Copies of this chain bind each other. A is one copy, B any other.
Amino acid sequence: MNKKALAILMRARMRPNHLNNFALSPISNELNQILSNSHGNRSTENGEHHAMEHGKEKLNHQRSFEVVRESMHSVISMNKTEVGDSVLNEFLEGYCGLSFQNRRKLLLTLAKEYDLNRAQVRELIKQYLGLQPPGSEAQSGGVEDEGFLSTFYRIERNLRHSLKPVYETLFERLNTHPEGLKFLTIIRADILSILTEGNIASLRALDSYLKEKLTTWLSPAALELHQITWDDPASLLEKIVFYEAVHPISNLIDLKRRLGVGRRCFGYFHSAIPREPLIFIEVALLKNIAETIQEVLWDNPPIAESEATCALFYSISSTQPGLAGINLGKFLIKRVITLVKIDMPHISDIPSTGFLTHSLRSVHWVFATLSPIPGFMQWLLSKLASQSKLAKAEDISCSSADRSRLTFYENILEPEEERALIDSSGDLASGKSGMEIMLNLLTPTTHEWTNSDKLLSALKPPLMRLCARYLLQEKKRGKALDSVANFHLQNGAMVQRINWMADQSEKGLNQSAGIMVNYVYRPENIEEYAQSYFSKGHIHSSYDVKRYIQPALENESKDSL
């Protein structure tokens, strides 16, 4: 590309506010979206705004609500052949024009008034219970009568069908419409957004049903893996820029580098959601597993691809908030591993044998990530705050009988870590505990501690150790507390290494004090690791990472009840 053309392109706004007329897609981290219900959906404001422009009175709102409700009813109740694209279009457009409050009202109507015909269910249950199931004692005497069996299966099927909510018809019919699947993800994003305001059982049931349907429609076999390159249409590249959630793309040169030599970008596409990936992954081909994101994105020039032995997944972003909870990333990573192997035949793919080596200079193909630890600082700061409070309470009431509180108290710092912190912060910290000092240093979003060598060297040991503890030991319902950790562990990865000052961006410092983690996928162990994590919550990790918490484990067994 010549300089002039590039200069023109550079003027383009890199992050347009909205890309399609639904104007609903917020930018946010894939993993946060995939693994938990997304908060604060932008659709709220946009939808509101949109409606405010068009109908300025409450009456108009009411009228348009009734019209959309009517068209929704038509889509559901018309017979099969009557439901043409025009009826579906009318509903789609009507819905998208509604304010968020009216969407909410409509979805609640759908959840409550279009669920089951329970009188019919009860009638069919009565019929069903009146029949002897096949193979039961009453039948086992002779050959079973095919006529009787047909009746039995028919009634069983009728009962099964009667237990499907009426709104399934709406979902199924929308799914046949060219824009239907995209629209269903918008509806689901709205539902999730409503549910964050408070639980509504009927809507929760609808959401779980819709999620099941979306999961089966978005089977990985129905998705197409496409390598995104600099030759792709600008309209597609624009979306990569828009949706990249982990390491924002700052300008076109940055984008071009991510699609150039030594780099790969793969997206999963579905034919019913054309021209935008549902999820995409960015890969760097390197000699070794990178320790910092700076070296991947900016500092190191790309190496010759023939020299690469490591495929580093450094970013994975999903684009549809309405697909939260549907794990497409797992399949994407597996397919990308397969593809890279085919693509780079010069790399021998000898599985490593025996116990995990802590040498990172493996001569074999390595598939690793360089991942954020989005929940670390949040966990650490709240731990520091609550423990500091408990410590104070202990000081005051140490003579009292209130000893029950002490069972929750834990000095999360090692004695030498505490000493180093007190020493490094000098007079300012007089009389304060190590945890208080740490809390005070880490809380300000100015991150001044990163400018002082003394503070850096005092903070590094406890931060790295506590980060290892957070990743390997802090759990919720038997699964890793950190959403990205949980994502990779359930996909069958192991925790390989944690890296100091690996992401010095504002976001990196806020999320994890700049620490990043390498997860490693060993193709030969993926299924085994996923399985033991799933069934026993076992987190595989390298000796390097385990070592951080080995002393802490010993202390814990001494100190805790």
Residues of chain A at the chain B interface (Cβ within 8 Å): 79-82, 84, 86, 112, 116, 118, 122, 125, 128-129, 133-135, 146, 149-150, 152-153, 156-157, 159-160, 163-164, 172, 175-181, 199-202, 204-205, 208-209, 216-217, 219-224, 270-272, 331, 490, 492, 526-527, 530-531, 533-535
Contacting residues, chain B, for A175 (C-beta < 8 A)? 216, 219, 221
**A239 → B minimal CB distance (Å):** 19
- Complex CA gap A205/B221 in Å reads 26
- Complex CA gap A180/B204 in Å reads 31
CB atoms of B208 and A217 under 8 A apart:
no
Query: Among B128, B153, B163, which residue has its beta carbon within 8 angstroms of that of A204?
Result: B153
Contacting residues, chain B, for A134 (C-beta < 8 A)? 112, 202
**A320 → B minimal CB distance (Å):** 15
The chain B residue with its CB closest to the CB of A82 is B531
CB atoms of A153 and B205 under 8 A apart:
yes
CB atoms of B118 and A122 under 8 A apart:
no
The 6 A-B residue pairs with the shortest CB-CB distance in the complex, in nearest-first order: A149-B201, A221-B272, A153-B205, A160-B163, A81-B534, A150-B201
CB atoms of B181 and A221 under 8 A apart:
yes
Contacting residues, chain B, for A81 (C-beta < 8 A)? 490, 492, 527, 530-531, 533-534
- Complex CA gap A535/B179 in Å reads 28
**A130 → B minimal CB distance (Å):** 12
CB atoms of A271 and B224 under 8 A apart:
yes
Q: What are 25 A-B residue pairs whose CB atoms fall within 8 Å in the complex?
A: A81-B492, A81-B530, A81-B534, A82-B527, A84-B526, A122-B129, A146-B201, A150-B199, A150-B201, A156-B205, A160-B163, A163-B163, A172-B216, A175-B216, A175-B221, A176-B331, A178-B221, A179-B221, A180-B221, A216-B216, A217-B222, A219-B272, A222-B222, A222-B270, A224-B271
Contacting residues, chain B, for A530 (C-beta < 8 A)? 81
Interface centre among A81, A272, A490 (most CB of B within 10 A): A81
**A556 → B minimal CB distance (Å):** 29
CB atoms of A205 and B116 under 8 A apart:
no
**A327 → B minimal CB distance (Å):** 10
CB atoms of B534 and A79 under 8 A apart:
yes
**A79 → B minimal CB distance (Å):** 7
Query: Among B208, B219, B490, B492, which residue has its beta carbon within 8 angstroms of that of A176?
Result: B219
Contacting residues, chain B, for A492 (C-beta < 8 A)? 81
Contacting residues, chain B, for A160 (C-beta < 8 A)? 160, 163-164
Contacting residues, chain B, for A112 (C-beta < 8 A)? 134-135
- Complex CA gap A492/B152 in Å reads 36
Contacting residues, chain B, for A208 (C-beta < 8 A)? 157
**A118 → B minimal CB distance (Å):** 5
The chain B residue with its CB closest to the CB of A527 is B84
- Complex CA gap A216/B156 in Å reads 20
**A228 → B minimal CB distance (Å):** 17
Contacting residues, chain B, for A79 (C-beta < 8 A)? 531, 534-535
**A222 → B minimal CB distance (Å):** 6
- Complex CA gap A159/B270 in Å reads 32
CB atoms of A272 and B222 under 8 A apart:
yes
**A161 → B minimal CB distance (Å):** 9
**A157 → B minimal CB distance (Å):** 7
